[in-house]
Structure 1
Amino acid sequence: MQRRHALAWGASTILAAPGLLHAQGAAYPDRPVRFIVPFPAGGGTDTWARMAAEPMQTDLGQPIIIDNRGGAGGMVGTEYAAKVPPDGYQLLFTITTHIQSPVVMGRFPYDPVADFAPIGRLGTTAVNFVVGPKVPASVTTLAEFAAWSRGREVSIANYAPGSTGHAFGLILARELQLNATQVAYRGEAPMLQDILAGTVDGGFHSMAAAGEMVRARRVRPLAASGAQRSPSLPDVPTLVELGYSRRFIFDGFSGLMAPARTPRPIIERLAASFRQASQSPATHERLLRIDTVPAYLGPEDFGSFIATKLREWTEITQELDLRVES
């Protein structure tokens, strides 16, 4: 793994010979482009992917199709994306689970660094611990949730095994001394459905997926991850300010990648389009509306960021014993 990681950006995006931007005489892209999203439709990853895709397809002059392939904490879709032809027509739009799921589940069907050529990071986001109708309406703070949980078994949902939400659920259960069962889903959308149905007590959600239900008061946010309170939830305290682990500061990311060995001119074309889409005022406004901080990074910086996050999450997993049976 370490030797493969060292290959990273430079060796995985081999400089192409002149003309590689032209396939059979037509300029790239000459047909629809596909964003592989390793989670079901309706969740945060799907939402961010569509935000990037809409302006990019105008710039590229071709439709961008969202291909949702959920399963195994994002690893099913990501493994598929690592093996598609490196021609720029099938890309991976993913989130932090890209580096988390393999580490926590102890298996690497893909190398998070060497198997992909980064195109750009869209933004970063915190998640909120929310509860649904299974928890009494009188419970409106984390302290009240902890008190209500005493003497009972609670269920904490997460949108993927090995995800930020899963790790935060484990840490929260330890620090609140809960008798908690962790329940894994194939994405935020099915997880939210079960919270709303009262099947599980609560879990960590992004505002990209749960914002509408929070505003409709169908789920109640009790605390937020991150270093600062969410702009749209100024009355909801962060877990760190409540005195809990600084591990809750770990923020997630979203971004676009291509398979390794995608020709450099194609990466550069996609990177320019992604940068334009990510940095537009309209995209910034849409991101902030769902508590996502616009935080564009270009290919090389995004590649370095991913490698750093992989090392950090490996340390966190070992330190907190977050490994789970896959």
Structure 2
Amino acid sequence: MVDITQEAEAGGFTPVSTRTFLEGGDKMKKQSLGWQIRCALLVGVVASLPLAHAESVDQFPSKPITIVAQTAAGSSTDLFARELAQAASEVLGQPIVVTNRPGGSGAAQMAVISSSAPDGYTVGVNTASHITAMLTNLKGMYKPSDFSWITLNQIDPFVLVVNANSPYKTVNEMVKAGIDGEKIRIGGYGSIGSAHNIAVNIFAETAKMPFTWVGYPGSGDAITAVLGNHIEAASSNPGGALPFVEGKRAKILAIANEKRIPSLPDVPTYAEAGYDVDTSWKQIRGIYGPKGIPLEIQKKLADAFFKAMQSPRFMEYMERSALVVGDLGPDKYPQFIDKMSVVAGKWLTELGLDK
């Protein structure tokens, strides 16, 4: 068992409470979540009014498509949705509108998606947070089989970041220090049980390295704490860490991926460093929709999205953000989601957060 605790404060930031995303906080927060879901359901009911006639695959799409993002405008997820929408609208010959429905750890967006008509005209962006949410604060409300999983578009592997002047020049040196009794504080977005925390736990269990988790409002805050020497390392994704690496202020010790990525050719995988880490747990971005979208419509959307991802602008965006291209369609993406759910469930149980 890896020793995992939560520090109260680190580096001038207020860490996220251990069970914030699970227990929902006080009564006001619960009422707010309920209000968000009710409003989202109302929107979904309007969107799911019966069509006058069934539309053939050849006719689809005959009107604009909406992509619903679960985060605010300007976020990484929102940027992905808008880049994809712009590229795919040219492929499909119809406008693709991006709307933002933040709130309730994805609950507001999922309510809209689940209650929309299964015709392919309303879809949403999904990330790894959807998986942990369905196992925690939205447990019993939604499960993977309640949705159509259309495409895996992006894979954003987790990386371990240290200060450029850190005494740990390799991940092996950090592991040895932790095993020898040095205090290793690793920070990242969210409380214990978050996507970043699960990623660190998977590595730490394999390496048998004790560590202390420090949760932050964002990965950028965790990297700032690393730069200030308030914690020893941060869990991030390549795109968030690259500016600091290029500025020679930070160093990436390892990446949780099956192979090295082009934007970080000198960063070894955990396997290359000698740790057989399960790399199935990643930050992902994909497209999903309400349950029951005809498979032919899902495939047409998937083909269009993948073709759009080959456009020069989208490829430049992917390279600039140090993202790995995903290539799973509706025939394989549901199985990928199920596998990630198993990994998340294991760790949520291990951390006692699956109640």
Q: TM-score, normalised to structure 1's length?
A: 0.72
Q: Are 1:241 and 2:269 an aligned pair?
A: no
Q: Which residue of 2 aligns with 1:7?
A: none
Amino acid at match of 1:165: H
Q: Which residue of 2 aligns with 1:168?
A: 199
Pairs within 5 Å for 1:200-279:
201-248=232-279, 250-262=281-293, 267=298, 269-279=300-310
Separation in 2, partners of 1:200, 1:70: 30
Separation in 2, partners of 1:103, 1:325: 7
Residues 39 and 140 (structure 1), Cα distance of their counterparts in 2 relative to 1, 3 Å cut: farther
- 1:262 CA drift (Å): 4.3
Contact 1:127 1:204 in 2 (8 A): yes
Q: Which residue of 1 aligns with 2:68?
A: 35
Residues 307 and 78 (structure 1), Cα distance of their counterparts in 2 relative to 1, 3 Å cut: farther
Residues 183 and 235 (structure 1), Cα distance of their counterparts in 2 relative to 1, 3 Å cut: same
Separation in 2, partners of 1:111, 1:66: 23
Specify the SS of the correspondent of 1:270: helix
Specify the SS of the correspondent of 2:267: coil
Residues 321 and 129 (structure 1), Cα distance of their counterparts in 2 relative to 1, 3 Å cut: same
Greater displacement, 78-87 / 144-153: 144-153
Separation in 2, partners of 1:239, 1:138: 19
Q: Are 1:65 and 2:98 an aligned pair?
A: yes
Residues 33 and 286 (structure 1), Cα distance of their counterparts in 2 relative to 1, 3 Å cut: same
Which of 74, 80, 103 is matched with 2:111 structurally?
80
Specify the SS of the correspondent of 1:310: helix
Residues 269 and 204 (structure 1), Cα distance of their counterparts in 2 relative to 1, 3 Å cut: same
Amino acid at match of 1:253: I
Contact 1:127 1:165 in 2 (8 A): yes
Separation in 2, partners of 1:183, 1:145: 20
Q: Which residue of 1 aligns with 2:38?
A: none
- 1:129 CA drift (Å): 0.7
Greater displacement, 212-221 / 100-109: 100-109
Q: Which residue of 2 aligns with 1:142?
A: 171
Amino acid at match of 2:219: M
Unaligned runs of 5+ in 2: 1-49
- 1:161 CA drift (Å): 5.6
Superposed CA RMSD in Å reads 3.8
Contact 1:122 1:255 in 2 (8 A): yes
Q: TM-score, normalised to structure 2's length?
A: 0.67
Q: Which residue of 1 aligns with 2:34?
A: none
Q: Which residue of 1 aligns with 2:147?
A: 116
- 1:221 CA drift (Å): 1.0
Specify the SS of the correspondent of 1:234: coil
Contact 2:69 2:102 in 1 (8 A): yes
Specify the SS of the correspondent of 2:332: helix
Separation in 1, partners of 2:267, 2:68: 34
Separation in 2, partners of 1:162, 1:108: 18
Separation in 2, partners of 1:57, 1:159: 34
Separation in 2, partners of 1:80, 1:243: 43
Which of 113, 130, 135 is matched with 1:103 structurally?
135
Greater displacement, 190-199 / 115-124: 190-199
Residues 244 and 66 (structure 1), Cα distance of their counterparts in 2 relative to 1, 3 Å cut: farther
Contact 1:37 1:93 in 2 (8 A): yes
Unaligned runs of 5+ in 1: 1-15
Residues 51 and 210 (structure 1), Cα distance of their counterparts in 2 relative to 1, 3 Å cut: farther
Contact 1:130 1:222 in 2 (8 A): yes
Amino acid at match of 2:220: L
Contact 1:225 1:248 in 2 (8 A): yes
Separation in 1, partners of 2:272, 2:83: 32
Separation in 1, partners of 2:259, 2:343: 21
- 1:52 CA drift (Å): 1.7
Separation in 2, partners of 1:147, 1:290: 32
Which of 297, 318, 337 is matched with 1:287 structurally?
318
- 1:94 CA drift (Å): 1.5
Contact 1:132 1:196 in 2 (8 A): no
Q: Which residue of 2 aligns with 1:154?
A: 185
Contact 2:216 2:222 in 1 (8 A): no
Amino acid at match of 1:256: I
Contact 1:115 1:260 in 2 (8 A): yes
- 1:55 CA drift (Å): 0.4
Residues 157 and 311 (structure 1), Cα distance of their counterparts in 2 relative to 1, 3 Å cut: closer
